[in-house]
Amino acid sequence: MSECLDKSRPPANHNRPLTFEDLARLLGLAVLIFLCISLATTLKPALLLSAVSFLVAMVVNPVIVRLERRGLKRGLAVLLVGLFSLALIVLAFWLLIPPFLDQLQALVQAAPDTWKRIYGQIGVWIDRYPTFKSVISDRQNDMFNAAQAQVGGVARFLLRSTLGVFGSLFGAVFGLMLGIFALSDPLPIVNAYQKLVPERHRKPARRVLVRMMRAVSAWARGVLINGAATGISTGVLLSLVHVQPALVFGVLAFLGEFVPMVGSIIAAIPALFVAASMGATTFALALLVILFVQQVESNLLIPFVMGKQMNLHPVTILFFTLAMGSLFGLAGAILVVPTAALIKVVIGEFYLRPQEIDEEELARESQQIIEGRLDSEKDF
């Protein structure tokens, strides 16, 4: 009977004009999106803390599952992983943080002298090309004062950032507790997630969660491995070309991996700044070191470590970097890749997959669009 009713139902007219009901639905959707953005902006600290906590829980959960399969209780597995992570953090603070802070302080204090040397290098270059001398000579003092002001601004920014890190420890404790509770007993959270999803969408919703967990694990593994390899190689190679402090530049290269694409570029600026004060040859060697490390990372490490789990186009990553950075600051920029992956998975499961799109045919048509042609000119 239901099949007969379905056959007798008139086919949907996809070319019909928009009705008042369609406009009302679009307006309601726009209002809902606006309210969600306003609520997210208001609850930004809590949302960021919860997002980071659940992100860490997704990353650590596969390790907990492996330990469970070996016969350990979940609570004991969480405790062992927590103690191991705490030991690594304490070891890092004990071995790396004191020399890093000493070298960072020396770098900030030497910044005015570094700029003077760069200024001297620029002066030598200007003397070789007298045409530029008359243009720049009248503004030399203004350039020097502006550069010193920028150096002072960087120093104040580093100080505020350091104080902000210590001020965030209170929130980090709550985030740690949230992650521990989520890992210790995740079953009610997953059950609640499935109950909130309508029955007809429950299967793709399960796929979304599983694919997201795999993608986040691949991202975290890639960031840590690529960051460690990039930081160590950058520090060692810069020390070989006598650009110091190499430890600071290596740590900055490691931290830059957490902000996709633009992070590594920004992290390389201090090293190039110091290298520029040491002459054109040293600057060229430092630039070659940074370009070499980034090329090895992008062409070898990222495909090998992450595989196809995080297959995101650079345009997508840059857009989300700007959007998340504008909305949530540095923490949002760090969460760019997981957010973009989540949106890609949701769109793929709930919108693209039901359409059963022919990927090869679509790729062929897309290539025709790029080349500015069609199968038939009558389509114009």
pLDDT of residue 44: 77
The pLDDT tens digits for 256-302 are 888 877 788 888 888 888 888 888 888 888 989 898 888 887 777 66
Q: How many CB atoms lie within 10 A of CB 236?
A: 13
Residues with Cβ within 8 Å of 172's Cβ and at least 6 positions away in sequence, in order, are: none
Q: What's the alpha-carbon Rg for the chain, to the nearest Å? A: 27
Tokens linked to 200: 């007809």
> Which amino acid is it at 215?
A
Q: Please give the C-alpha separations between residue 322 and each of 39, 141, 222, in angstroms, as whole numbers.
A: 20, 35, 22
* Cα 164 from chain centroid (whole Å): 20
CB atoms within 10 A of CB 325: 17
Chain centre to alpha carbon of residue 251: 17
List pLDDT tens digits, range 17-74: 667 777 777 788 788 888 877 877 777 777 778 888 888 888 888 889 999 998 889 8
Location of structure tokens 């790029």:
370
Per domain, the residue ranges of the chain are 43-95, 97-139+147-162, 185-356
- Which residue is associated with the tokens 């949701």? 346
Q: What sections of the chain are H helices per DSSP?
A: 2-8, 20-42, 44-69, 74-95, 97-109, 111-128, 130-136, 140-167, 169-184, 187-196, 202-240, 246-256, 262-276, 280-296, 302-306, 314-334, 336-347, 353-355, 359-371
- Residue 45 to residues 49, 164, 223, 323: CA-CA distances in angstroms? 6, 14, 24, 17
Between CA 11 and CA 264 the distance in angstroms is: 54
Q: What is the pLDDT of residue 16?
A: 57
Q: What is the mean predicted confidence (pLDDT) over 198-213?
A: 88
Report the distance separating Cα 148 and Cα 139, nearest Å: 14
pTM over 0.75: no
